[in-house]
Structure 1
Amino acid sequence: MHSIDLNADLGEGFGHWRLGDDDALLDVVTSANVACGFHAGDPATMHRICRAAVSRGVAIGAQVGYRDLAGFGRRRIDYDLDELRDDILYQMGALEGFCRVAGGRVAYLKPHGALYNTAAVDAGQASAVVAAALAYDAGLPVLCQPGSVLARLAVDAGLPVVGEGFADRGYRADGTLVPRSAAGAVIHDPAAVVARAVRMAVEGEVEAADGSVVPCRVASICVHGDTPGAVDLAAQVRAGLRAAGAEVAAFT
């Protein structure tokens, strides 16, 4: 039986403001990408999510981003690369503290938003992500798009790489994601999202916005926690994967 991980971005509120239903999503997903305070999240939120994830047996990943609370980490920043490496290390260390208190650990690394998209094509920023992961734990898995620059550099450095697909995001013909500012960036039809998830998991491919078929061999599928109806959508994706014969389980 084929195994596939189901992940979601969690803990993306800040202070009294919360985004999405973290607790409900933790009952569905197998891995939680937890915001580490730079694009979203705060100490109390990280603590709460880590405790809840550990209690449910959900793997915890550090979702690291640009220092951009106002823009939710979705605006590219041209960093000094050593500074970017250190910002990533800082975020991972912060989350690790709350993981340890909860009886867990940071099990993988995943860039967020504009950093995710930039590291997929930019060797400089991808190298900073890889350097941070290597410095933190040379065996730490990196969750990223298959075939991306980040994936290639991480493999070259000896890091485990886990290919990730996005069930609810549009793809371009080159395998990159449709920018959120463009039409078709987010897929809203639940049936389409489920079908795309199953196709990625079983056939290793996804249909791009122009109708072409893009190779997309993945071990983890993401459903965004800020998508309207995210909890029900994630539950439908999980049910669809299981109906297709996949075992839904964390990759770590």
Structure 2
Amino acid sequence: MCVLFFFYITLSTAGVSVCLRYLTDYVQISRPVIFTLRSSSSSPISLKSSSGFSYGLTFNYYPNLEFKPNIRFWSNIGPDIWTGLCLTVDTVKNVAQVFSGPNISIRKILPIRYVWSGQPVIDFSGFDGQVTDVQIWDYPLHYREIYNYMVSGVYGPHRGSILTWSSISYSPRGNVVMEDVYEQQSKQSLSSGGSRERGRHLKGKKKTRKFWNLEEKKARKRQRM
């Protein structure tokens, strides 16, 4: 299953953090790109996966910067069918770090100073699998914020500051399924008394998501009026 999505956001130069959960049914050995973050005036940043044990960050046509999140940082995060993944880029300190479930990588210095500007876009066109709970912040997350994301917001909301999964707009396209985690679907089913027509994902209907920027939304609204 090939996923292609576009999120239109505006970032400051303090940094950026991207968190998501993904699920795949095979061992990926060809280093597929999980996501690419692009901007109209900045070089793209791509995060690649290698069997889920290491990740490669590439940007500005520099060689791959390897991250191995094999240091267990949180002992009370149990196993999950979804892999929770976060990338933080601190453009002030010029460092990046990758988090995967309870594990973290070391922070690494970027080969050159990186600054975000312009109108960025994120896509998942190179990944084969399911993706959910995408959140984006316009600053490097603190460890406690990443922990809260990994435990699905047990200690408070884990909403992104510039993009949040619960308030995105989309239109069905293609045959790719992007949906809430199964635990959330179960909660929705219980709260709705078993109704199949509640929640953001309707059973039996495959959905993909296309994201619109603010101007597109205004234009679509004017057309409806």
Q: What is the TM-score of this pair, normalised by structure 1?
A: 0.29
Larger Rg: 2
Greater RCO structure (CA 8 Å; 6+ sep)? 2
Which structure has the highest strand share of the two? 2
Which structure has the highest helix share of the two? 1
